[in-house]
Amino acid sequence: MIPGINRPSAVHVSKTAVLNNYHKIKDALPEGTKVLAVVKADAYGHGAVPLSLALSESGVDGFCVAISDEARELRQAGIIEPLYILGLTPAEEAWNLAQEEIGVTVSSLDYLKKVIALAPNQVDHPLLIHLKADTGMGRIGLNQAEDLQILIDFISDHQDYLQLESVFTHFATADTVSDYDQEIMNQQNQAFQAIRAKLDFSQLKQHPFFHQSNSALSLWHPDLTLDAARLGIAMYGVNTTNYDLDLPYSLEAALSLTTEIVYCKKVAPGQTISYGATYQAESQEWIATLPIGYADGWPRCMTGFEVLVDGHPCPIVGRVCMDQCMIRLPHHYPIGTPVTLIGHNKDKVIAVEDIAKYANTIGHEILCGLSNRLPRIYH
């Protein structure tokens, strides 16, 4: 989808806010903790390349992405720090990734055997391996230390080709607040510590590092951080719990979403607005059209949500269209009047968390859904 540079709808990203959040979280972690910036999904819609370059200059220890294409994009942009792919990659890609020193997640012995079968006679760089332990997420990974040890032994037998960099896990309930969820989190932590205690790395040339902390664990349970922390949504200034938990310290929202009024009209009582005629004016009303819709990632379910015009909350009326939506104004505003959908407008603010709660989802989905038809403007 081509960016719409000739219309007024745009995403604004503060690199300063991201860096401030990064430093604040890093300073609150145990001394010596490596910080891995999670920039998958185009840095949660913020723009992976510009933010990774800024974080690189600020001394981040490495980057995590979801797929190999994201990793290559960063290498091609000049990122030289360690890059880790959190998802699984085809064995056929392994040696190209090794050449670019991009680490891969491994969850099975069959994968490693296939990688070795595909290996060239000589390699310039060993394939960097990150073993995934499944302690309760139920997504990918091995849940027994004995099974992980089999992979470690296989790696130790092929050290000209394979290098173990880390062993890691991912928590399912670190950002939820019920007693049940906290018990699950504690069980996962205990399971990973038990696995860690059983693993033998004595035949490896170097010992791997361990990591289990995501944004939620880094914020609310920094004491559970191991050698490294993976910072994602928190680095962009979003409360991963949608306000269910208060942040332990303030973070700056890095992203705002703005547009302008492109059409404004007075409608008579009884006139209907948008598809399905679901909204009917109760009196004479000023209705403005905004050039943004669900093709831009503004959810169709946002009917009734209030955006900001000149500091005034103005409800979206009628159904959100693919490319446009309509709002009810308190009075006439001229074409070109700024409208805030996310961010500050005079003394009011709309947070990503507000939108997520209204849409019955999480901030991650809202941010990742903002399409690349919305230009990113960096400050």
DSSP for 63-123, written as a single string: EEESSHHHHHHHHHTT--S-EEE-S---GGGHHHHHHTTEEEEE--HHHHHHHHHT--SS-
Sign of CA dihedral 349, 27, 43, 188: negative
Match 């991963």 to its residue by tokens.
Answer: 240
Binding-site annotation, residues: 139, 322
Q: Tell me, what amino acid is at 135?
A: T
**266 is an active site residue:** no
Reported pTM: 0.95
Say how far apart CA 352 and CA 350 lie, in whole Å.
7
- Residues of the chain with pLDDT below 50 are none
Distance between CA atoms of 255 and 57, rounded to whole angstroms? 20
Q: What is the pLDDT of residue 192?
A: 98
Q: How far apart are CA 320 and CA 239, in angstroms?
A: 26
Q: Which residue among 40, 84, 161, 279 is the active-site one?
A: 40
Whole-number Å distance between alpha carbons of 19 and 25: 10
Structure tokens at 93: 């890609």
Query: Residues forming the annotated binding site for substrate?
Result: 139, 322
What pLDDT is stored for residue 152 in this prediction? 98
- Annotation marks residue 358 as catalytic: no
Per-residue model confidence (pLDDT) at position 243: 83
Residue 79: per-residue pLDDT = 98
pLDDT value, residue 146: 98
Question: From the candidates 113, 266, 275, 346, which is the catalytic residue?
Answer: 275
